[in-house]
Amino acid sequence: MSKTTIPAGGIADDAISEEHIDATVITGSTALAATPADTDELLISDAGTIKRVDYSYIKGADNTPAFQATAGTTAQTLSNNTFTKINLGTEIFDTASAFGSNKFTVPSGESGKYSFTYGIAVPNMDDHEAVEVKLYKNGSAVDNTHVIRRATGGSQLVFAQSTQILNLSASDYIELYGQHGEGSSQDTNYSHVFLSGYKLAGV
């Protein structure tokens, strides 16, 4: 590429075009080597007008916030036929630090539709007795009770699991509740107690 002498007074507006730009503008620069931050800026042609745009506007949407919590290694005593808030003391992951005190709270700016999967299990159940699980939103039940009953055989583990999609706003919170139909209080099987959820992207 031939060299051009810069005229007195500097370069005029709109004077730099493709023949004045060498590939080393890119290849000679340090590679980012990581996903750009939301506030990193790129140049883009908007109907022929060059503009800068933050990466946050062009990146693909992801399914966050997202979390998963379990009972860890701690059983919980549930009364007969009484819905009780389930303790979830172990976080597996929590992308927005939005889960705590046994509940998920929608962060500011993250309103939208969320998908939740959840379940509890109770051992030593007698014939035809039920284990039930449901979600509570802001302290009130928001889904139909999911019931599992065994047909035959006594003293077996009964597991109830369900999924639910909810439209949530910032500061809404979600909790897990469960109950059983056994005649006396029973401890949960902590290995099968969990609540997980994530925001649906692009919905």
What's the whole-number mean pLDDT along residues 3-26?
Answer: 71
| Reported confidence tier of residue 22, pLDDT bands at 50, 70, 90 | confident
Cβ–Cβ under 8 Å, residues 157 and 139: no
Q: In this model, does residue 13 exceed pLDDT 80?
A: no
DSSP 18: G
Distances (CA, A) of 101 to 56, 88, 133: 31, 8, 19
pLDDT digits (tens, 9 = 90+) for 36-93: 888 888 888 888 788 898 877 776 678 999 999 999 999 999 999 999 999 999 999 9
d(CA 131, CA 84): 12
Q: In this model, does residue 151 exceed pLDDT 60?
A: no
- Higher per-residue confidence, 90 vs 145: 90
- Higher per-residue confidence, 90 vs 144: 90
**Predicted local distance difference test score (pLDDT) of residue 98:** 98
- Higher per-residue confidence, 100 vs 129: 100
**Predicted local distance difference test score (pLDDT) of residue 101:** 95
Grouping H, G, I as helix, E, B as strand and the rest as coil, residue 10 is: coil
pLDDT digits (tens, 9 = 90+) for 154-203: 678 888 899 999 999 999 999 999 999 888 899 999 999 999 999 998 77
Which CATH architecture fits 66-199?
Sandwich (2.60)
**Predicted local distance difference test score (pLDDT) of residue 35:** 81
**Predicted local distance difference test score (pLDDT) of residue 25:** 75
User: Which of the residue ranges 15-19, 20-24, 160-164, 191-195 would you say has the lowest mean pLDDT?
Assistant: 15-19
**Predicted local distance difference test score (pLDDT) of residue 38:** 81
**Predicted local distance difference test score (pLDDT) of residue 125:** 81
The domain ranges of the chain are 66-199
Closest listed residue to residue 157, CA positions, set 179, 194, 188, 181: 188
Q: 118 pairs with which residues across the strands?
A: 162, 195
d(CA 13, CA 9): 12
The secondary element (H helix, E strand) that includes residue 27 is: helix 24-27
Q: In this model, does residue 127 exceed pLDDT 70?
A: no
